[in-house]
Amino acid sequence: MNHPVVDREICGYCGACVSVCPDNAIELVDLHVRRDESRCTLCLACVEVCPLGAMKLNAESGTSHARRAEYQAPDIKQKRCDVLVIGGGPGGSLAAKTAAEQNVDVLMVEKRQEIGSPVRCAEAVSARPLAELIEPDPKWVSAEINGGRIYVPDGNFVEVENPGVGLVLDRKAFDRELANQAAQSGAEIWIKARAIDLIKNNGSIEGAIIRRWDGDYRVQAKVVIAADGIESQVGKWAGIDTTCETSGVDTCAQYLMTGLGDKFDGFCHFYLGHEIAPRGYAWIFPKGNDCANVGVGIGGHVTHETAIEYLDRFVEKEAPNSSVLGMVVGCVPASGELSDIVRDGFMIIGDAAHQNDPVSGGGILNSMIAGQIAGEVAGQAIRNGDVSRKSLEEYPKRWHKQIGRTFRPLRKIREGVLGFSDETLNDICRMLTQKDLKKLSMLDIFWGALKREPRLLLQLRHLIKLGWAQLIDP
């Protein structure tokens, strides 16, 4: 029987395989993937989605792995807090900071040994909404962005200038600063501390078992916030199916490159086309200092080649004679948010709740906003003495009102654009470059695309509901 096995020399520790496993048979432990054969039903979703081809079929797979350790170890230590946040990414840190600001006792646990590292991101954000969450600081900004260029397969591009519209972050410094602010607000932070199970009582979540370098802790908490990112398992432990479909994720590979000169500076560059990035896009985001993040994201169910193979081809064409300083692999949920994200004493936020923008896959801002709302709701619920599911439902309600309600039309936009043939993309680009973008309505784009592909009529009717401005400055 063929079994999936991980080639550890290749694995980039991205969590894509964990996110699509329907049987909770894989986990990331420190810097390696552990697969539990007794749980595996051989669906092969993990093999399909791996951006590096590190998860392979191997008939000789004899690796036997220990199951997750039982948490009632005899020497388990005890700890209490009001709010336990699992995961120290942007979502977790904002949740911890916001809850701590309400004078409740907060513990945030992060399994990595260093907050923010390794980076798993292309680091681009819209400047305006970010400034509403944290005061911009040059120490975690790599470059300012003054617009976007969207390239179509024939090499033409549409340029939209919008001074100060975006930032390319230094995620390592940024994530560390967010955690720092959570700590300054009173949250306790543990690193190298991995949640391995939840504590449940009659269906309510009452804490988690945390495995730290110095042993296991039984952490009793009034509210647990799962902010454990793309490789999330905590939701599943709470009985919520957080599995991504392979067709609902983008699997990505990216190089940090140097030697590109200044021709990409000041703009984020997006490349569309079925040869370049099937069911996705390629990008070049300048980071200043002659460096840029150069990446490709493809549909998770595109199986004939891996993301890294598309990236190598893209780099050969767009950035020859430059050098690679680093590699990032990973995957982003792109099919829209989970609707079931609350239980008694429990909430899921950020990538773990698939709250990424359905068009771009970006999730930094959304996870921060979700963290902020969940932190506020948790603090309020604890002060009111009611952490029931009903009370915590305030979080998804507010999230939906602020962000989630835009997801349905955005998903339709994504499907519409991904449905365009390369020829249609070229035509639309030609049409856009002939007109003044500010005067162009969605209707113009709609009719241009429709002339080429009338079958898109059904999908594209959703585009009209949104303005062009939202597309270029989300």
Ligand X SMILES: Cc1cc2nc3c(=O)[nH]c(=O)nc-3n(C[C@H](O)[C@H](O)[C@H](O)COP(=O)(O)OP(=O)(O)OC[C@H]3O[C@@H](n4cnc5c(N)ncnc54)[C@H](O)[C@@H]3O)c2cc1C
Pick what 86 binds: ligand SF4, ligand X, none; C-beta below 5 to 8 Å, kind-dependent.
ligand X
Tell me: does residue 228 bind ligand X (CB under 6 A): yes
Q: How far apart are CA 472 and CA 452, in angstroms?
A: 23
User: Taking the complex as a whole, how short is the minimal distance between the CB of residue 13 and ligand SF4, in angstroms?
Assistant: 5
Which of 352, 456 has the CB closer to ligand X?
A: 352
Tell me: does residue 89 bind ligand X (CB under 6 A): yes
Going residue by residue from 1 to 30, which x/- string records binding to ligand SF4, judged by CB under 6 A? ---x-x----xxxxxxx--xx-x-xx----
Which one of 3-11, 271-279, 313-321, 325-333 is the stretch in contact with ligand X (CB under 6 A)?
325-333
Tell me: does residue 298 bind ligand SF4 (CB under 6 A): no
Residues between 17 and 36 with contacts to ligand X, criterion CB under 6 A = none
Task: Indicate the DSSP class of residue 440.
Answer: -
Q: How far apart are CA 79 and CA 86, in angstroms?
A: 15
| 437 touches 159 (CB < 8 A) | no
User: Taking the complex as a whole, how short is the minimal distance between the CB of residue 120 and ligand X, in angstroms?
Assistant: 5
Tell me: does residue 253 bind ligand SF4 (CB under 6 A): no
| 134 touches 181 (CB < 8 A) | yes
Q: How far apart are CA 453 and CA 447, in angstroms?
A: 10
Query: What number of chain residues touch ligand SF4 (CB under 6 A)?
Result: 29
Q: How remote is the C-alpha of 318 from its chain's centroid?
A: 26
| 174 touches 124 (CB < 8 A) | no
User: What are the beta bridge partners of residue 174?
Assistant: none
365 phi and psi angles, rounded to 5 deg? -65, -45
Which one of 67-75, 85-93, 334-342, 378-386 is the stretch in contact with ligand X (CB under 6 A)?
85-93
Which of 28, 413 has the CB closer to ligand SF4?
A: 28
Task: Indicate the DSSP class of residue 23.
Answer: T
Considering only 88, 299, 300, 448, the residue that binds ligand X (CB under 6 A) is 88
Considering only 86, 165, 277, 392, the residue that binds ligand X (CB under 6 A) is 86
Q: Which of 116, 99, 232, 136 is nearest to 176 (CA)?
A: 116
Which of 46, 296 has the CB closer to ligand SF4?
A: 46
Tell me: does residue 176 bind ligand X (CB under 6 A): no
Burial of 286 (0-12, 13-18, 19+ CB in 10 A): buried
User: Taking the complex as a whole, how short is the minimal distance between the CB of residue 125 and ligand X, in angstroms?
Assistant: 5
User: Taking the complex as a whole, how short is the minimal distance between the CB of residue 48 and ligand SF4, in angstroms?
Assistant: 8
Q: How far apart are CA 75 and CA 206, in angstroms?
A: 20
User: Taking the complex as a whole, how short is the minimal distance between the CB of residue 439 and ligand X, in angstroms?
Assistant: 30
Strand 106-110 relative to strand 188-191: parallel, antiparallel, unpaired?
parallel
User: Taking the complex as a whole, how short is the minimal distance between the CB of residue 281 and ligand SF4, in angstroms?
Assistant: 20
Q: How far apart are CA 138 and CA 154, in angstroms?
A: 37
User: Taking the complex as a whole, how short is the minimal distance between the CB of residue 85 and ligand X, in angstroms?
Assistant: 9
Tell me: does residue 207 bind ligand X (CB under 6 A): no
Provide Rg for the chain, Cα atoms.
22
Tell me: does residue 248 bind ligand SF4 (CB under 6 A): no
Degrees to nearest 5, angle at CA 426 with 422 and 431: 145
Tell me: does residue 248 bind ligand X (CB under 6 A): no
Residues between 318 and 337 with contacts to ligand SF4, criterion CB under 6 A = 329
Considering only 48, 197, 216, 351, the residue that binds ligand X (CB under 6 A) is 351
User: What are the beta bridge partners of residue 253?
Assistant: 296, 329
Task: Indicate the DSSP class of residue 356.
Answer: S
Task: Indicate the DSSP class of residue 152.
Answer: -
Going residue by residue from 99 to 138, which x/- string records binding to ligand SF4, judged by CB under 6 A? ----------------------------------------
Both tokens of 72, joined, read 């009632």
Sole residue written with tokens 């260029």 = 149
Both tokens of 390, joined, read 């009903």
3-state secondary structure of 357: coil
Tell me: does residue 254 bind ligand X (CB under 6 A): yes
Which of 58, 146 has the CB closer to ligand X?
A: 146
- Binding positions for ligand X, rule: CB under 6 A: 86-92, 109-112, 120-125, 194-195, 227-231, 252, 254, 295, 328, 330-332, 350-352, 356, 362-365, 367
- Binding positions for ligand SF4, rule: CB under 6 A: 4, 6, 11-17, 20-21, 23, 25-26, 33, 35, 40-46, 49-50, 52, 54-55, 329
